[in-house]
Structure 1
Amino acid sequence: MSHTQFLDEMIREYLLYRGFGSTLKAFDAELKADKMKSFRVDKIIDQLIFFINSYDLSSLRELWGHLNRHMFSKLESNFLPMLPYVKNPEENPTFALHFTKQWQDKVLISLHNFLATIIQYMPTPTLMHYEEDVTKINKLEERNDSLKKRLALLLDKGPQASVTPCQVEHPPHLLDDFYVIAQENNLGESQARSLRNIIKNMSSSASPILGRKDVINKKRVGK
């Protein structure tokens, strides 16, 4: 029994419990005429093959129209409207593939995979998520019980209980913007200090240019 069929049985049980007889009859009638076969891809493919083999064109077109409206409505096939107007479609590069034996052998497999992919990604109602929610709640309850037992064991042992230490990694060395600015200021100050030292040395007597000027001035004064 598929997930959808299980939900159908739950709905039938609820309708019986509430006494909704007319609603239950309408629901059963809709289930019998269900074209989607409870979203079972194998059943849909079997139904299509049955209509083809029995030459039931009206039923085939009705089922395909239902699939086209509810599942294929977002597909774009711009080249299909031109098919009736192509003289030899089997020789046309656009349609030649669909007339090969290889494509005919794989068309049912491709259709099966295509329908399975569409059904898998169809938006589902909230009611169909109940199993997922129940599983999540059960896991949370098991985790909660495990933590309660661990806490009770630690309380029973008292202060001598051996608690597994939590390994905490040391954070890496952090550098903020102010640290970078301070480093830049220090670099600027050192460069300015070096420049002042150079100027000071140039103005000292050891400088050949300035020393030569001093000698000339002394000679002039001596004269």
Structure 2
Amino acid sequence: MAQVAFLDNLLREYLVFRGFSSTLKALDLEQRTEKDQHFRAERILEQFNNAIQSYDLQAVRSLWLHLDNNLFSKLEHTYAVAVKKLENSLLKYYLVTAYSNNRADKVSEFFNKMAGELQQQSEWKDWFYFPFCRNAEESPTFALFFTKQWQDTLLLSLRNFLTTVYQCLPQPTFVRAEQEAALMQRLSDDNTGLRTRLLQMQQEMHQLSQQQQQSGTAATGAGSLGGDGASRRRSVYRPQQSLSDILPFDISPPGHIVDDFCIIASEANSVSQASDAQARGLKLLIRNIGSGSSPVLPRKDQAASSLGDKSTKRRSGSVGRSWI
């Protein structure tokens, strides 16, 4: 990539400036032997193999710690088991290689340095017997790790895992330096443009407020002229009011609040009472009719009887007076 080549030139310039001649030679050598500009997982595997074949436990641990801090720690939590499995398998491969080459001192050194860390893991419980085991390649516990199939499978799995991780990881900060600088410049330009627009809007608002004040002064001066011309000028130069300038009317609240459903209910009660009274009157009339008596006829009989008594009294009196 052109960006990677540009950064390589920057790195070379920095090394020359600092006087790191040996580092610069190593960089030039690796760049000449490099077939492509992309990362290759084989290089990591080659470094692990070189450290294991030379029985350099510190190099193996340092390289794995670097990968764990910068690569594996950025993965999801579900990959933690796979990462730990690869680490333990790589350490077992180191022990098997040292034992196969009759380097018992390196095996003892391994457990002296790693015992405090490994004794907390149940997977390494049987491996503490490994330094004292004779013919470990024939033991049912350790025979699998001496086979070429297991060792090739381990290296292939580690290679595939590193390749997948590097393809998913974002670019380093050093590679994104140019992009970050361009982004910061664009954001700075946008901020400058926004500040300019804000200043222009403030100036326009200030000019508009001055015009409104001048128009209000002109309308006040025109009020002394009178007539239609003055009223027309007042209507023309009247300043616009906002919602905050409008005062509400002073309307007193009602004395009580009556719900419409309450009115409907009271109306329904009055109607029901009137209908009940009418129903009782009709029932009484029908009952009197059915009994053969009339509520009107008794009143007529009583009136007739009273009239007959009066006539008889008058008749008897008149006869008596005439007879006397």
State the TM-score bracket (shorter-chain normalisation): 0.3 to 0.5
TM score, norm. by length of structure 2: 0.32
